[in-house]
Every structure is written in C-alpha cells, then in structure tokens.
Amino acid sequence: MSTSMAGRHFVNVKDLSPEELARVLDSAAKVKRQPAEFRQKLAGKTLAMIFQKPSLRTRVSFEAGMTQMGGHAIYLAPTDISLGKRETTEDIAMVLSRMADLIMARVFGHDIVEDLAKHSRVPVINGLSDHEHPCQTLADLQTIIERRGRLAGQRFVYCGDGNNVAHSLMYGGALTGMHVTIVTPKGYEPNAAVLEESRQLGRQSGAEITVTNDLESGVRGADVIYTDVWASMGQEAEAEARKKIFMPYQVNARVMSLTKSDCTVLHCLPAHYNEEITYDVTRLPGSAIFDQAENRLHAQKALMLHLAGAL
C-alpha cells in the first residue's frame, strides 16, 4: 500500500523506498510528457535554495522547475547566509522553514544538509553534498529508463572517483535492481559503509553492487557507462596529481569497444573533455548526457511535487 511522501526530506537516495523511487520516476516521465498538466501545481509555494557551491544545472533546474509549476524560488548565495559563520545551521533551518515551503541545499559537508533536515519543519532536499548527489541520480535513472526501457538487470558501470555521485548511484541501483560496478583506481574506492549498505539493499532487489580496480573486466559488456570529473569542488589542489592516477580510467574509444554496441554514455557535467572522457565519446549516438542534464528539471519537479503533497 503506497504512502504519501508529503513533508518528507530527501537527503539520501535511500530515503525513498523502492516503491517510492519508482513513483517519483513515473511522475518525472509524466511531467516531461505533459508539462501543462502541472503548470499551477505549486502555485503560491516558495523554494529557498541555499548554495555553498556554484552551479549551472542545480540552480537552473530547481528555479525553472518552480517557475514552470507556478511557484517561486529564492537563490541564497554563499555570502547571503554564510552557513555556520554568520548564523547557525539550526537557526537558518528554523527561520527558513517558517517562510518557505521547501528548502534545497547545495553544500560541502553532508552534516550541513542533515542538520537542516533535523531542524526544518518543511522538506529539505539535498541538491549536492560531499557524500551524496541524490537529485542527480533521479535524473540518471530517468535517462536510463528512456534509453534502455528498464532499470532492473541493466549492467551499469561507473568509471572514476568513488565520490558522492558514485555513492548515490550505488543506492539507486540497489533500490531498482540495476547491477552497478564502480571502476576506480586503488585508494579511491567509494565509502565502505555505503558499499555494504548498497549490497544489503541489492539483495532484496537482485542488484549486484561491485567495486574493482580492473578497468577492462569492469567495463566489459556494460549497458551503461558513466563518468564524472576526477577532482570535485574543494579538491582543486589535488587536480594535477589526480590526472596522472586517473588517466588510465579515461572513458575513450578503446573503453567503449569493450562495452555493448548500443551502450548508453552518461556524464553528470561539467565535463573536462579529454580528461575523464574524450569529446568524441560524448557525441556518439549512444551519448545521453544532454538528455540527462535536461532530466534534472523533470525529475526534480516530480520530487518537489511529491514532497509538497501536490501529487
């Protein structure tokens, strides 16, 4: 029996049950097909958007999404709030949740978004933290369904740093029955606790979650291949050193020759062409990176509709 997601927080992908995740993805597809049907669904609602990190896709997708559904979004830049410096995270959550209907936060520390959720009386959405990027995963899963028809049983391979994106994808695969392989250099594997928890969730859905340092065996036969920048925001000092370590894991024509002939290519952007991925691969017929970027809009609209109790 389905339950409402109204009033809930979305801090981690695993905050949704498999059934709830499927409902959000179904809603995302409908929102994309029939946007006019949702034009006034969030009329009079306000989304407060907290940013510690700059963004193209996160800001535009959330702001445009609220506007397209009749609501309003307020952009709060790092200097507007200075989380934890000018004012405590607890106080910010308590004030904003008396004025806004939803709060989205794109932050460095995962503890910040957890604290916001703890003290807010309205839904808090993790727009990105150093530990997870759950909204990106919603768009990723929507894109895979569009390109491949289903999630369960697909062989999904992520090449690169075992970062926040990898963590959310592991949870997403585990909840949907999609097999996820993380291919990464030694010492850059995803968080061990996330791996174990994903594997436990995967036992219920039939998903296999694996981690390997072997590129060729890891990517062979992939239905979907995904990569991300090698140095995330806050890791700029490591960028040059990381290039040398990660270059053997670049997604290029040779790597693509090991995947299935109709393999779908994903990248959450921004891309550093000819580093983690070559430009030519991003322009292959199987590349869905710009569909994936667009789907941030549709998936997040669906998420906000559910959390606001409008669906």
Considering the candidates 9, 52, 57, 106, report the single residue annotated as catalytic. 106
Half-sphere exposure of 211 (CA within 13 A, CB side): 23
Torsion sign across C-alpha atoms 28, 33, 38, 42: positive
Active site residue 268: yes
CATH 3.40.605.10 fits 13-133+296-307, yes or no: no
From CA 276, how far away is CA 169, in angstroms rounded? 18
Q: Is 263 a catalytic residue?
A: no
Integer Cα distance of 288 and 156 in angstroms = 14
121 is catalytic: no
The answer to whether the CB of 216 falls within 8 A of the CB of 190 is: no
pLDDT value of position 20: 98
Output the six-digit token pair for 212: 């390997």
The reply to whether domains 13-133+296-307 and 136-292 share a CATH topology is yes
Which one from 57, 130, 136, 154 is the annotated catalytic residue? 136
The residue ranges of every structural domain in the chain are: 13-133+296-307, 136-292
- Give the pLDDT score at 79: 86
Shortest CA distance to 124 belongs to which of 50, 70, 71, 194? 50
How many residues would you count in the chain?
Answer: 311
| Phi and psi torsions of 61, nearest 5° | -65, -45
Neighbours of 82 (CB within 10 A): 12
**What is the mean pLDDT, run by run of 10 residues, along the chain of 311 residues?**
83 97 98 97 98 93 98 94 84 97 97 97 97 98 98 98 98 98 97 98 98 98 97 74 95 98 97 97 98 98 98 94
pLDDT for residue 185: 97
CB atoms within 10 A of CB 227: 28
Neighbour order of strands in the sheet with 46-51: 72-76, 46-51, 102-106, 124-128
pLDDT of 233 reads: 63
Q: Which of 296, 298, 300, 306 is catalytic?
A: 296
Active-site hit among 9, 110, 131, 133: 133
Instruction: Please say if 167 is a catalytic residue.
Output: no
Active-site residue flag, 161: no
pLDDT of the residue at 1: 35
Residue of 228, 263, 298, 300 with catalytic role: 228
Please give the DSSP secondary-structure letter assigned to residue 15. Answer: G
Model pLDDT, residue 168:
98
Q: Which of 96, 130, 144 is nearest to 116 (CA)?
A: 96
| From 135, 159, 263, 268, the catalytic residue | 268
26 catalytic, yes or no? Answer: no
CATH architecture of 136-292: 3-Layer(aba) Sandwich (3.40)
